[in-house]
Amino acid sequence: MQDRIFLLAAAAAFFLFLVYWQRSGKVDPARARALVEQGARLVDVRSPGEFSGGHLPGAINIPVGEVRARHGEIGDRTRPVVVYCASGRRSASATSTLKGLGFSEVYDLGAMARWNR
């Protein structure tokens, strides 16, 4: 009986994690690459210095602190957007900001290093 309860609890926890992941805008690397190949805008929210040191092909650089002021550079708010940074903290913040500005499809890759996984 305890085994069943544990399995049910584990399944419920996993389900809640998946719901959270979906709502948070997190996207797995394969899906992020597919979105970009299909025309999604790729936005690097790291600093200009970090961006000049290397970035993903096709990305535009809008530092996280400038997203609200420069969101017009991203374009159509109905076009999918994939956001990334160095660790995932800034991309999560930028994702929230963009959603608050009315962008309908914003996906948070998190750390740039995840791109090739």
85 is a catalytic site residue: yes
34 lies in some domain: yes
Give the domain CATH number at 77.
3.40.250.10
Burial of 25 (0-12, 13-18, 19+ CB in 10 A): buried
90 lies in some domain: yes
Helical (H) or strand (E) element with 86: none
94 lies in some domain: yes
Catalytic residue among 27, 42, 59, 85: 85
Q: Please choose, from the candidates 48, 36, 39, the residue with its C-alpha nearest in 3D space to the C-alpha of residue 109.
A: 36
8 lies in some domain: no
Q: Report CA torsion sign: 115, 53, 50, 72.
A: negative
Separation between Cα atoms, residue 73 and residue 81, nearest integer Å:
12
Question: How many domains does the structure of the chain reveal?
Answer: 1
Separation between Cα atoms, residue 68 and residue 74, nearest integer Å:
11
Q: What is the pLDDT along the chain (117 residues), one digit of tens a residue?
A: 777 775 665 554 444 444 444 444 699 999 999 999 999 999 999 999 999 999 999 999 999 999 999 999 999 999 999 999 999 999 999 999 999 999 999 999 999 999 998
User: In which domain, by residue range, is 106 found?
Assistant: 25-116
Q: What is the pTM of this model?
A: 0.80
- The pLDDT score that the predictor gives to residue 109 is 97
Structural tokens at position 4: 């069943």
Pair type for strands 81-85 and 41-44: parallel
5 lies in some domain: no
